[in-house]
Amino acid sequence: MPWFAKKRVTDVSEKKTLGQGVFRRCDACGVTLLADEFTQNHEVCPSCHHHYPLSAEGWIELLLDPGSFEELDAALVPRDPLNFVDEKPYPARIEAAQRQSAAKEAIIVGRGSIGGKPIQFGVFVFRFMGGSMGSVVGEKITRLFERAAKNKEPAVVLSSSGGARMQEGVLSLMQMAKTVAALGQLREAGVPFISVLLHPTTGGVAASFALLGDVNIAEPRALIGFAGPRVIENTIRQKLPEGFQRAEFLLEHGMIDLIAQRREMRSVIARVISHLCD
């Protein structure tokens, strides 16, 4: 190959990698910006304000007072009482999810504070099996509500989930009743529960505790509901209204209380806690 042809191939390769990871294109508005601009804006497009998923760790950093978070129940890990196997055994799926997500389960819970006020806090880890709720997730949420009731501290849970974890069968579905029962005890203690619904909040999580907050807050355009729109349309054989199951539709129909932009979420939650606890 002549030297000039070889050089041309090298130049093309360099052109393909030039700027890789430096720039990022918004899927919603098409604008291309520096990737750092999205990161610094907490995964919200600076141009059109489209909200991309933010990691559980990112939410902890965004919402809680610096250094205040203490993780609890971290030692709880999933088991396989049903000996479930589909394409691979359930324990193998758990191991793969833990390795790929660098998380032990689909939720992180603990104590922290917002604006100096102590709270019991939980945030779903959607990258772990789609944030699905199995026995451990249900147990962690239950313990969170129980601690909140005992300590008279508001409970704040950020939900992002595909629903019940099918590999745990009826044991997963039982977590719906379990978490709602614990929430009932929280209500009896007169302690508020602030539920934050992220994209997506669906299935058994939406059908249990997530929509039972004393105040339900959602992010813009978040998908919230039991079954997905396509499943519903295929079942009832009708076209759903525009924006059905999106946060704005739910707000219009009284299913949630307010929609908050991500950059405003901390101050919104702080005001709600101050109003409910003072």
Per-residue pLDDT of the chain in tens (278 residues, 90 and over written 9): 444 444 444 444 444 444 567 999 999 999 999 999 999 999 999 999 999 999 999 999 999 999 999 999 999 999 999 999 999 999 999 999 999 999 999 999 999 999 999 999 999 999 999 999 999 999 999 999 999 999 999 999 999 999 999 999 999 999 999 999 999 999 999 999 999 999 999 999 999 999 999 999 999 999 999 988 888 999 999 998 989 999 999 999 999 999 999 999 999 999 999 999 87
Q: Do the domain assignments include residue 258?
A: yes
Q: Do the domain assignments include residue 206?
A: yes
Q: Is residue 40 domain-shared with residue 152, that is, in the same domain?
A: no
Q: Do the domain assignments include residue 216?
A: yes
- Taking the C-alpha atoms of residue 125 and residue 161, their distance in angstroms, rounded to an integer, is 8
Q: Do the domain assignments include residue 37?
A: yes
The alpha carbons of the chain give a radius of gyration, in whole angstroms, of 21
- Taking the C-alpha atoms of residue 186 and residue 154, their distance in angstroms, rounded to an integer, is 9
Would you state the pLDDT for residue 71? 98
Q: Is residue 31 domain-shared with residue 136, that is, in the same domain?
A: no
Would you state the pLDDT for residue 176? 98
Q: Is residue 263 domain-shared with residue 148, that is, in the same domain?
A: yes
Q: Is residue 43 domain-shared with residue 135, that is, in the same domain?
A: no
Contact criterion met (CB below 8 Å) for 106 and 137: yes
Q: Do the domain assignments include residue 5?
A: no
3-state SS string for 61-115: HHHCCCCCCEEECCCCCCCCCCCCECCCEHHHHHHHHHHHHCCCCCEEEEEEEEC
- Taking the C-alpha atoms of residue 135 and residue 124, their distance in angstroms, rounded to an integer, is 14
Q: Is residue 36 domain-shared with residue 136, that is, in the same domain?
A: no
> Any idea what the CATH number is for the domain that residue 254 is in?
3.90.226.10
Would you state the pLDDT for residue 260? 98
End-to-end Cα distance, the chain: 79
Q: What's the burial of 256, exposed, middle or buried (CB within 10 Å: 0-12/13-18/19+)?
A: buried
Would you state the pLDDT for residue 228? 82
Q: Is residue 48 domain-shared with residue 123, that is, in the same domain?
A: no
Q: Do the domain assignments include residue 254?
A: yes
Q: Do the domain assignments include residue 120?
A: yes
Would you state the pLDDT for residue 39? 92
Q: Is residue 124 domain-shared with residue 206, that is, in the same domain?
A: yes
Domain of 41, in residue numbers: 13-52
Would you state the pLDDT for residue 24? 94
Torsion region of 209: left, alpha or beta (phi above 0 gives left; psi -120 to 50 gives alpha): alpha
Q: Is residue 33 domain-shared with residue 59, that is, in the same domain?
A: no
Q: Do the domain assignments include residue 150?
A: yes
Q: Is residue 248 domain-shared with residue 137, that is, in the same domain?
A: yes
Q: Is residue 141 domain-shared with residue 41, that is, in the same domain?
A: no
Contact criterion met (CB below 8 Å) for 234 and 194: no
Would you state the pLDDT for residue 15? 44
Axis-axis angle for helices 265-277, 56-63 (nearest 10): 60
Q: Is residue 141 domain-shared with residue 187, that is, in the same domain?
A: yes
Q: Is residue 118 domain-shared with residue 195, that is, in the same domain?
A: yes
Number of structural domains, the chain? Answer: 2
